[in-house]
Structure 1
Amino acid sequence: MLAVLTGCVLLAGCQEVSGDSPPNSGRPPTLFGGKGDMYVDPAGPAARWVAAHPESPDRDTIAKSIASRPAARLVTAPRAQLRGDLVSYLDGATAANEQPFLLADADSAVRCSPSPHDDRQTRLSTYREWFTELGTLIGTRSALVVVKAGRSARPGCGARIGETERIEIAKASVEQLHRSPHVLVFLDVTDLAGTSPPAAATFATSVGLGNLTGLALDVGGYQPETSAKEIRMILNRTAPHNRIFILTDSSRNGAQTDTTCNPPGAQLGTGESVGDDPANTQQLWLTTPGISDGPCGLAPDSTRGEFVPRLALALIPREK
């Protein structure tokens, strides 16, 4: 069970906020809006595999260790398809009185679509419209959203985005979500944090700390140790009046690995581990364990984003 957070610890409005962004006022008094559990997506990748393979000898193992545990809902649908993609998930979380949490991959939705937008102003407008629609769908619900917006494109996903434009896109995206009264916004800085924690902190500050609940690290990764401590120290020094939480993707970081693409030796990490102290790193599954990183490692014939049962089983520690 998750510890329910109390007080104003995650309310930027409870603190003096520095920078150009307005205080994050009107936020719910706890990280999960008063709810005690994260929502388990009944239509998540692992759950769909379990439902489709009732006779598999691996069914119960994957159901118990992965499909029955909360993992973020990945959102990559184009704006016109967001409602159909998300309404049942959000309604299900509301009915269960549990917390929905989303990995909002606008980069895939906007830039990896069949018709990517390669004009700078068009891209910016498209990102803004995508997050406006997402915020509208969430409405007055409480939700936790990890924002992926403006990162360098994968091969085949449009032109490379420069630093200035990346800040513009991320800032516009975060601002749109911030308009929803009960959305807790975490900005994904995985790529920057992995190479330069100071650059990750500077980027987040440029985007606007006042609109953020925190930063997300190692999204889709495997590293047990992240740069959370260093980034936290930088922000505490440069923006001491902002209480910025660090959230790490703990889905597959239970053991050290030598590679980062479906690596052998990886294990499930800690599930839900959150608290009300921003000095502690928060942990949630932001990736469904068993999702392939692409045709590599233990799943050379897989495609990126595909749920592969042998990858899922390899992550589950063997019972002694």
Structure 2
Amino acid sequence: MKRSVRVTAVAALLVAAAATGLTVVAARAEEPSVAAASGFYVDPRSGPAQWVAAHPADGRAAGIKSSISSKPMARWFGDWSGNIGTAVGGYVGAAARAGKMPVLVSYNLPQIDVCGKESADGGSSGASAYRTWIAAFADSIRDRPAMVILEPDSLADLDCLGASAASTRLGLLKFATEQFRDRAPKATVYLDGGNSVYRTAPVTADRLSKAGIQNVRGFSLNVSNFHTTAQESAFAEKVNDQLAAQGLERVPYVVDTSRNGKGGNGSWCNPDARQIGTTSAIQDLDGKGLEARIWIKAPGQSDGTCGIAPNTPAGTFDPQIAYDLIHGY
């Protein structure tokens, strides 16, 4: 049966299985067909859009509007989002009314950015708080289409946690995948797998498996990084080979292309001379390989007080970073 089997068909299968005593493994989320048919939602309140609206006379505004703020990109949700049910529900509802697919990022695990430390002052206060938060996140999507990138860097950063904290994180991620599976049947969720130079394919696959990859659509790569799509796709195939070697299904993946137009230069924190990449679009819905190229990081959003923006905190939009990304400076 195709992975995009509808929820009603799954329900009927479960009823039949219950009558015969069979055990059924839940089907993966539907393919992101809304995005393929109608496109991704353009966030009217993205950092670039808000800056353009507030600075119409700035000489950089027209270029940032045409090349960045008018394009679809993900909205990130974390401890700054207020009531998460209200925030997520409102955003997904707006996209549904527009007939578009929204892309959301959950970024609120305890000890987020534990390796990079540029965003380390955020995140949930503890495991219990995170479980409540992520359950409300998933529940507020309900039966509406949405694409979710689940906790960037969470698995790649396990090396910077102690054994107990790493085990807790894996458990929280698995809990999160179960919440989306059970509460948001039309959400296509991608568990973040880091990138091709951060951890090896065997390590990445092992962690994806332990974190519940079987409960969601697939995995994401290159979030907030600069590696080429070809480089990340080659790595993804190795990860899928490792998943298959464990007896798990090969899964689709998405790549962050917001800043990979020139590839990377070895630095991850506001490097110079990088460029925006292919705008958000579905690549292929065969359920086997690269499913979509997505602007997950908003171009122009600072990585931290580093590189070409030493005074711009992480998560803050910087128009000069954006302008330079447009032109490849």
- 1:148 aligned onto 2:147: no
The superposition leaves residues 124-150 of structure 1 with CA deviations (integer Å, 9 ceiling, x where unpaired) of 322221111011211111111111175
Structure 1: segments with no counterpart, 5+ residues = 1-6, 118-122
The answer for the alignment partner of 2:216 in structure 1 is: 212
Counterpart of 1:291 (choices 292, 298, 301) is 301
The answer for the alignment partner of 2:19 in structure 1 is: none
The answer for the alignment partner of 1:317 in structure 2 is: 327
Task: Tell me if the contact between 2:255 and 2:290 (Cα under 8 Å) persists in the aligned partners.
Answer: no
The answer for the alignment partner of 2:13 in structure 1 is: none
**Amino acid of the structure 2 residue aligned with 1:258:** G
Structure 1 length-normalised TM: 0.82
Distance 1:290 1:79, change over 3 A: closer
The answer for the alignment partner of 2:168 in structure 1 is: 165
The superposition leaves residues 150-169 of structure 1 with CA deviations (integer Å, 9 ceiling, x where unpaired) of 5549x9xx988633222111
Q: Structure 1: how far apart are the matches of 2:190 and 2:172?
A: 15
Counterpart of 2:284 (choices 275, 295, 299) is 275
TM-superposed CA distance for 1:29, in Å, is 5.3
- 1:137 aligned onto 2:144: no
Structure 2: segments with no counterpart, 5+ residues = 11-22, 114-119
Q: Structure 1: how far apart are the matches of 2:266 and 2:194?
A: 18
Task: Tell me if the contact between 2:85 and 2:139 (Cα under 8 Å) persists in the aligned partners.
Answer: no
TM-superposed CA distance for 1:193, in Å, is 6.6
The answer for the alignment partner of 2:317 in structure 1 is: 307
RMSD of aligned Cα (Å): 3.3
Distance 1:128 1:200, change over 3 A: same
**Identity percentage of aligned residues:** 26
Task: Tell me if the contact between 1:192 and 1:199 (Cα under 8 Å) persists in the aligned partners.
Answer: no
Q: Structure 2: how far apart are the matches of 1:56 and 1:21?
A: 58
Task: Tell me if the contact between 2:257 and 2:293 (Cα under 8 Å) persists in the aligned partners.
Answer: yes
The superposition leaves residues 206-258 of structure 1 with CA deviations (integer Å, 9 ceiling, x where unpaired) of 22332110011111111112222211222233335x24111111100111323
- 1:232 aligned onto 2:240: yes
Structure 2 length-normalised TM: 0.80
TM-superposed CA distance for 1:181, in Å, is 1.5
**Amino acid of the structure 1 residue aligned with 2:278:** T
Q: Structure 1: how far apart are the matches of 2:39 and 2:138?
A: 22
Query: How many correspondences in the alignment?
Result: 300
Task: Tell me if the contact between 1:83 and 1:137 (Cα under 8 Å) persists in the aligned partners.
Answer: yes
Give the alignment of 1:119-130 within 5 angstroms. Answer: 123-130=126-133
Q: Structure 2: how far apart are the matches of 1:212 and 1:232?
A: 14
The superposition leaves residues 257-280 of structure 1 with CA deviations (integer Å, 9 ceiling, x where unpaired) of 231111111111111242113233
Task: Tell me if the contact between 1:193 and 1:217 (Cα under 8 Å) persists in the aligned partners.
Answer: no
